[in-house]
Amino acid sequence: MTFSPELEARFAKMIGNYPPGRQKGALIPMLLYAQDEVGSMTPDLIQEVSRRLKVTPLEIEEVIGYYTMLAREPRGKHHIQVCTNVSCQARGGEELFAHACSRLGLHNKEKSADGQFSIEEVECMGACSWAPAIQVNYDFYYDMTPEKFDKLIDSLRQMQ
């Protein structure tokens, strides 16, 4: 399995960041960055990372089951994460999530049929002072309202 040259360069550097013989340290970063490119924790990806870092597939499974950002199934092209934790809840995060679900016609952790959108209710993403906040993939959107959300979805749709 090969990755893009940029990712390969990143991995090459990354492995050097851990003490000799302890390259397993790179496991979680490697999985997450690889997922950005591959889409999800495919068997090929697991095998490849297992080979590169000399960790067993079981060790990788343990980690995949633990970290919520590591996805077994590919998410939508725009993975919309709505925080409903206490700070966001206080400023309408839950209503925003309900609105987002109905706007996209999706339930929590579902993906649209065209693969464009997926939605997930997430825990605090550290944007409490600018609540309610959402994240689309890695991009934050602050002080959200249902209206702003709709505009955002429209603009994401137009990006296609």
Partner 1 sequence: MNQPTLLRPPHPLEVRVLTRRFEYPRTEPVWLDEYLRTEGYQALRKALDLTPEALVDEVKKSCLRGRGGAGFPTGMKWSFVDRKSPKPKYIVVNADEGEPGTCKDRILMGFDPHRLIEGCLIAGRAIGSNRGWIYIRGEYRVYIDIMDRAIEEAYANGYLGDNVLGTGWSFHLSTHTGAGSYECGEETALLESLEGKRGNPRLKPPFPAVSGAFQCPTVVNNVETYSAVPDIILKGGEWYAGLGTPRNGGTRLVGLSGHLNTPGVYEVPLGMNLLTIVNELGGGVWKGRKLKAIIPGGSSSPVLKADECDIPADYDSFAKAGTMLGSGATVVLDDQTDMVRVLARLMSFYAHESCGWCIPCREGTAWLKKITQRLDSGVGASKDIDLIDQISNSMMGRTFCPLGDAAAMPAMAIARKFRDEIEAKIQSTQAFVPAPGTRPLVVL
Partner 2 sequence: MPDPITLTINGTQVSCAPGTLVIEAAKQNGIEIPAFCYYEGFSLQAACRMCLVEVEKMPKLQPGCTLPAAEGMVVHTESPKVVEARKSTLEFLLTNHPLDCPVCDKGGECELQDMVFRYGAGESRFTEIKHHVDEKQWSPAVYYDGSRCILCYRCVRVCDEGIGVTALGLSFRGVSAQIVPNRGDHLECDECGWCIDVCPVGALTSGTYRYQSRPWEMNHVGTVCTHCSDGCKTTLSVRNGQVLRANNRDRSGVNGEFLCVKGRFGFDFVHHKERLQSPLLRKNGQLQPVSWSEALSAVAAKFSEVKARNGQFGVIGSTRTTNEENYLLQKFVREGLGSKNIDHHRTGDVVTLLDALKGRTGALATVNDLYTAKAALVLGADLSQQHPLLAYQLRANSRHHRSATYLVTPGPVREEQFATKALRSNPGEELNLLPQLSDDLKQHASLTVLYNAAIKGDAVRQLVAFCDSLGIEVKYLPLVDYSNSRGALDMGLLPDLAPGYQPLRNPGLNAAQILSSPDLDVLWVVGANPLKSASLAGEKAFVVVQDLFLTETAQRADVVFPAASAYEKSGTVTNTTGEVQRLKHGPKVMGTKSDLDIIALLARQLNIDLGPTTPDRIFEQIRKTVHGYNVALPVVATGGAAPTTPVNGGVPVAVNPSLISPSGDTLFTSGTLGRYSKMLAKVMEAPGQLFKA
103 binds, among partner 1, partner 2, none (CB under 5 to 8 A by kind): none
Q: How far apart are CA 108 and CA 43, in angstroms?
A: 25
Q: Name residue 145's beta-bridge partners.
A: none
Residue 127: other Cβ atoms inside 10 A: 19
- Which range in 14-22, 72-80, 104-112, 145-153 contacts partner 1 by CB under 8 A? 14-22
Measured from the CB atom, is 65 or 105 closer to partner 2? 65
Nearby residues of 63 by Cβ (< 8 Å), 6 or more positions away = 27, 28, 31, 70
Q: Report the interface residues with partner 2, using CB under 8 A.
A: 56-59, 61-62, 64-66
- Tokens of residue 127, six digits: 């944007």
Binding-residue pattern over the window 89 to 108 for partner 1, x denoting contact by CB under 8 A = xxx--x--------------
Q: Which does 118 bind (CB under 5 to 8 A by kind): partner 1, partner 2, none?
A: none
